[in-house]
């Protein structure tokens, strides 16, 4: 029962973080096409005011609950090495932990990334995590 509750919390937190990245990359970045610079800045700041309160804690919750879930399903490594499932789960964990460390450092420690300052790379990581989630059970 605890596993299902934590998995549900994990999914909601991941949806919040992923939803922000989808919104930012697919919609908010297109606003300058129809709004002037001042209108765009005002609209984006209005949106980001709420994002800053919800998204960073959701990312941290997603990473922490994800680590718990991995500890429950990873299993033991056989004599032949990791299974395809374990390899895909490890890649998901690496991408998720990278997102968590980057997000935590940026929001809570005020350390801005030297490269990849936009949300394109985190968006690509989230999409990759989603695809890995769908295919890792097929092996």
Q: In which band, very low, low, confident or very high, does the pLDDT at 125 lie, cut at 50, 70 and 90? A: very high
pLDDT of 92 > 90? The answer is: yes
* Count of structural domains, the chain: 1
How high is the pLDDT of residue 139? Answer: 67
Q: In which band, very low, low, confident or very high, does the pLDDT at 89 lie, cut at 50, 70 and 90? A: very high
Residue 81, C-beta contacts closer than 8 angstroms, at least 6 positions apart: none
CA distance 70 to 121: 23
Domain that includes residue 93, residue range: 2-138
Q: Provide mean pLDDT across the span 60-68.
A: 97
Q: Provide mean pLDDT across the span 19-48.
A: 89
What's the length of the chain? 139
Q: Provide mean pLDDT across the span 55-60.
A: 96
Averaged pLDDT of the chain: 91
CA distance 125 to 119: 10
Q: Provide mean pLDDT across the span 116-132.
A: 89
pLDDT of 8 > 80? The answer is: yes
């Amino acid at each position: 029962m605890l596993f299902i509750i934590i998995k549900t919390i994990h999914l909601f937190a991941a949806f919040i973080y992923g939803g922000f990245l989808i919104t930012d990359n697919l919609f908010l970045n297109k606003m300058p096409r129809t709004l002037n610079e001042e209108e765009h800045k005002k609209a984006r700041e209005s949106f980001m005011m709420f994002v800053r309160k919800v998204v960073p804690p959701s990312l941290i919750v997603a990473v922490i609950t994800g680590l718990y879930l991995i500890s429950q399903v990873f299993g033991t490594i056989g004599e032949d090495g990791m299974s395809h499932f374990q390899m895909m789960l490890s890649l998901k964990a690496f991408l998720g932990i990278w997102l968590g460390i980057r997000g935590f450092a940026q929001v809570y420690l005020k350390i801005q990334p030297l490269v990849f300052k936009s949300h394109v790379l985190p968006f690509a990581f989230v999409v990759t995590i989603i695809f890995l989630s769908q295919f890792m059970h097929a092996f």
